[in-house]
Amino acid sequence: MIRYLILGDLIIAVILFGCSPSAVSVTETMEEPSVFTDMTASSSTVTATSNLFPDPILKIIGEEEVVFDWMADKCEDENIPDLPVRAFRDAGGQVQLLISHYISYRMIGDSLNQVKINCEPVFESKRNADPSFFTDAEWIESVYTEDGQTIYAIVHNEYHGFAHPNQCNKSQDNWWLICWNNTLTLVASNDMGATYNYVVAPPNHLIASLPYIYEIDAGPYGVMNASNIIKKDGFYYAFIRLDYYRSDQQRTCLMRTSNLADPLAWRYWNGIEFVGEFLNPYVQSISDPSQHICNPIDPQGIGEGMIESLTYNTVLNRYVLLGLSADTINGREVWGVYYAFSDDLINWTYRKLLKEMPLPWTVTNSNDTFYLYPALLDPESETLNFETVGETAYMYYTRLNFGGGSLDRDLLRVKVEFFPSP
């Protein structure tokens, strides 16, 4: 299989490696914490899956719809859907759908089915050349609100050494990849999502980093690509992907916090409990970096990099994880969108294929059409943050019409349905 990396407008297949997908679900009401169960067992412990629906499946039942047409709807050329879309309901009763790039915009409407682009950017990258400030190329990645007024957001921060003086050796092969480090940071909006700002002055807005400073030619590495945030028993959870330092390995991890306003409060699953602490390698002394790396979550079931979309299915009473992965089907490696189920977010059913799709590393030519960024959203969800899905929902995804070298990218969706058994 092929590992892929996405840097702004560059989408590059890098190396062969093992990877998998998943599907997850989370149930909560607008005012009450969700029905998540406690997760105190070791990740090696296999818990029983709900036997109410022993083998549920997810199927596409509708036709493809265009949600955002870049040629017709863009506010400017960089207005592209460059991450899985996230949605929330604001205090004014409007639904907001984030269209994130290193300039982030939003679509707004009375419902998820009626959103239209708003051409006032909500957040713009600072392009800071100092890697210790974690404010270079910034994408709003995951949002969460308790009241529709204050919205917290995890930011995917790419430090592009290749874009700054003396931070990259461009005589090396793949210099645009090896001069890259990734971290997650925190911003918030106090005006119902119209604008986002750092919750505290950088670099103290750092949520998650590998315990290594930026090194020229050492990348790509870091903590990146958070899923959407879901709530359970007073905690907020998100999946993240970790790309190893000076290695081609990666893993899927799970982190949580009890305080969205505090970037230092996030803790990762260490295989037994949520006590792993992310460190800032620029200000903290780290004698053994290997002791500050998150534990992988069920690599057999969901693989090493699938973290795009996390929800809770209120019909099946299970978490659903949806994202890009591959598996061998009828003797053939099949890439596309996969899903898996869980009762506890730690142990997962083995992934199943929802839809085979052309991806950056499976197409013949670099300008061929391919797809990225699947996300599961239910317009009928009763939660402010669209954490739940019911019997039906929509899979949203980005179509890159002329490959990774073009900004012509459309946001599409297709209706899906959950079935209790095949």
Containing structural domain, residue 331: 19-419
For position 360, which CATH number holds?
Answer: 2.115.10.20
| DSSP letter, residue 205 | T
Average pLDDT over residues 407-414: 98
Whether residue 347 is contained in a domain is answered as yes
Return contacts of 271-276, CB within 8 angstroms, 24+ apart: 271/42, 271/43, 271/44, 271/295, 272/42, 272/43, 273/40, 274/39, 274/235
Whether residue 337 is contained in a domain is answered as yes
pTM attached to this predicted model: 0.89
Whether residue 124 is contained in a domain is answered as yes
User: Is the pLDDT at 13 greater than 50, yes or no?
Assistant: no
Whether residue 233 is contained in a domain is answered as yes
pLDDT in tens, 276-333: 999 999 999 999 998 899 999 999 999 888 999 999 999 999 999 999 999 999 999 9
| Residue 30 confidence (pLDDT) | 34
Q: State the total domains in the chain.
A: 1
Whether residue 315 is contained in a domain is answered as yes
Residues whose CB is less than 8 angstroms from the CB of residue 291 and which lie 6 or more positions away in sequence, other chains included: none
Closest of 353, 354, 358 to residue 399, by C-alpha: 358
Distance in angstroms (rounded) separating the CA atoms of residues 342 and 50: 9
Of all residues in the chain, the percent with pLDDT exceeding 70 is 87
pLDDT in tens, 57-106: 999 999 999 999 999 999 999 999 999 999 999 999 999 999 999 999 99
| Residue 35 confidence (pLDDT) | 37
Whether residue 376 is contained in a domain is answered as yes
Whether residue 256 is contained in a domain is answered as yes
pLDDT in tens, 395-409: 999 999 999 889 999
Residues whose CB is less than 8 angstroms from the CB of residue 23 and which lie 6 or more positions away in sequence, other chains included: 58, 319, 320, 321, 322, 338, 339, 340, 341, 351, 352, 376
Question: For residue 53, what pLDDT band results from cuts at 50, 70 and 90?
Answer: low
| Residue 54 confidence (pLDDT) | 67
Q: Which of these ranges, 236-240, 333-337, 363-367, 408-412, has the smallest mean pLDDT?
A: 363-367
User: Is the pLDDT at 209 greater than 90, yes or no?
Assistant: yes
Average pLDDT over residues 232-248: 92
Residue type, 149: Q
pLDDT in tens, 242-290: 999 988 888 999 999 999 999 999 999 999 999 999 999 999 999 999 8
| Residue 17 confidence (pLDDT) | 31
* Three-state secondary structure call for residue 263: helix
**Sign of the Cα pseudo-torsion (187, 188, 193, 197, in order):** negative
User: Is the pLDDT at 386 greater than 50, yes or no?
Assistant: yes
| Residue 124 confidence (pLDDT) | 98
Distance in angstroms (rounded) separating the CA atoms of residues 249 and 33: 35
How crowded is residue 44: how many other Cβ atoms within 10 Å of its Cβ?
A: 11
Of all residues in the chain, the percent with pLDDT exceeding 90 is 79
| Residue 52 confidence (pLDDT) | 54
* Three-state secondary structure call for residue 289: helix
| DSSP letter, residue 177 | H
For the chain, give the mean pLDDT. Answer: 88
Whether residue 9 is contained in a domain is answered as no
pLDDT in tens, 19-50: 333 333 333 333 333 433 333 333 333 333 44
Q: What is the separation of C-alpha 20 from the centre of its chain, rounded to a whole number of angstroms?
A: 15
pLDDT in tens, 132-142: 999 999 999 99
